[in-house]
Amino acid sequence: MTRTLDIARDLLREARSRRWVLVLFSAETLLLLAATFGLQLDVVDGALAATRLFGGTMGRTIQAADVALRPLFEFVAYAVFYAGTALGVLACADFAPALLAPGRIEHLLSLPVRRAELVLGTFLGVLALVLGGALYGGLGLTLIVWAKTGVFGWAPVLAALLSAAAFASIYAAMMAAATAVRSAALSAAVGALVFVAGIVAGFRRSLAPMFSPGPSRAVFLGLTAPLPRLSELARVAGRAAGGVPPDAVQLAIQLGGAALFTAAALMVAVALLERRDF
């Protein structure tokens, strides 16, 4: 386990020097600064009396601040979930192919590290990076709103955690693709494919009637069955931000399914790496 964590730490060190990652963190910081200085929330005795963004009035309806801020938290939850996942795919597509680059992989394999530990360490390092970014944005905005209104909403944090869970399943598939063919472009394409397919899978029951009964519908249902329901996880995050407590059983099913898919994809990555000669 220590060796796995060492690899993860090594990857995080490498991430600090990557321009892509630095640009994304800088953009996130700029957005947080814009929210800090541009968003004015006029709260009187727990009621939000006025909202102004860069001086322009956004609304004058007076409402309990926590209720009034639900749409904001809901927007942030969806943004953190979908944008965090999409940016994660873009920013991290190159990590696994870089790991397998000629010279580096031979060096790593010469160390007392098993191939499975190499896969798992890289996976955990990338996951930590994406979770950190999502939490930075989500928790950052939560703290800004808390400082301005006194209302603390856990929803962006929950969205960040769910986003990391969703990204884990996507990145596991990306790693499997990268171990099959060492290409950042292919890795990103597989990530995008699983991302979109995961969103579609969340609506598979309502989309299935669009296929004529028979083989085409069965193929659609069969292909989408093991995919993590990313849109459902996003809905959980959004509803939690809207003040609706998550359905614990449904959440457990979705997270459990995503975890099983992640494990399966990682297992494929390990199996592919085991087959390769370096």
Partner 1 sequence: MRRWHGWLIAAILLGAAALLLSLGDGEPARTTRPEVDFPVWMREPERQRAAQRATLVLPAPPPPAGVPADATPAEPPPRRDPFLVALPVEPDAPLIVMEANALRHSRLGERFVACMQQRDPDLFARLERETGIDPLKDVDRVGMAGEAVVLSGFFDRARWDSILEREPHFDAYGTSGRIYRGTNQRFIGTWGDHIIVVASDAAPIQRAIDQLEGRAPVPETGIPEDMAYGELYGVVPGAAAGKLLGADSRGISDRLAALADRIELHVDAMQDVAAVVRVQGPDQAGLDDLARTMGAALAVARVEAEATGDRATADLLEFATVDPGGQGLSLKVAVPAARLEALLGDCERRRPARPP
Out of 63, 101, 150, 216, the only residue in the binding site for partner 1 (CB under 8 A) is 63
Residue 29 or residue 63: which is nearer to partner 1 going by CB? 63
Closest distance of CB 264 from partner 1, Å: 4
Toward partner 1, which CB reaches closer, 132 or 246? 246
Secondary structure (3-state) at 134: helix
Q: How far is the CB of 270 from partner 1 (least distance, A)?
A: 6
Of 184-213, binders to partner 1 (CB under 8 A) are 201, 204-205
The CB density around residue 225, as the number of other CB atoms within 10 Å, is 10
Q: Find the binder of partner 1 among 142, 179, 231, 254 (CB under 8 A).
A: 254
Task: Please select the residue that binds partner 1; options are 72, 227, 230, 234, rule is CB under 8 A.
Answer: 227
Shorter beta-carbon distance to partner 1: residue 96 or 129: 96
Paired strand residues for 40: 52
Q: DSSP letters of 137-176?
A: HHHHHHHHHHHHHS----HHHHHHHHHHHHHHHHHHHHHH
Binding residue (CB under 8 A) for partner 1 from 31, 64, 144, 189: 64
Give me the phi and psi of 257, to 5 degrees please: -65, -45
Query: Interface with partner 1 by CB under 8 A: which range of 16-24, 153-161, 180-188, 259-267?
Result: 259-267
Q: How far is CA 42 from the centre of its chain?
A: 32
CB atoms within 10 A of CB 182: 18
Q: Name the residue among 72, 54, 48 with its Cα closest to residue 153.
A: 72
As a whole number of angstroms, the distance between CA 141 and CA 254 comes to: 26
233 touches partner 1 (CB under 8 A): no
- Taking residues 18 to 57 in sequence order and writing x for each that binds partner 1 by CB under 8 A, - otherwise, the string is --------------------------xxxx-x--------
186 vs 264, which CB is nearer to partner 1?
264
Point out which span in 127-135, 157-165, 189-197, 220-228 binds partner 1 (CB under 8 A): 220-228
What does the DSSP assignment read for 68-118?
HTHHHHHHHHHHHHHHHHHHHHHHHTTHHHHHTSTTHHHHHHHSS--HHHH
Please check whether residue 41 is in contact with residue 149, taking contact to mean a CB–CB distance below 8 angstroms: yes
- Binder to partner 1 among 24, 41, 65, 124 (CB under 8 A)? 65
Please name which of 165, 26, 162, 139 lies closest in space to residue 73, comparing C-alpha atoms.
139
* Interacting residues toward partner 1 by CB under 8 A: 44-47, 49, 60-65, 67, 201, 204-205, 225-229, 232, 239, 242-247, 249-250, 253-254, 256-258, 260-261, 263-265, 267-268, 270-271, 274-275
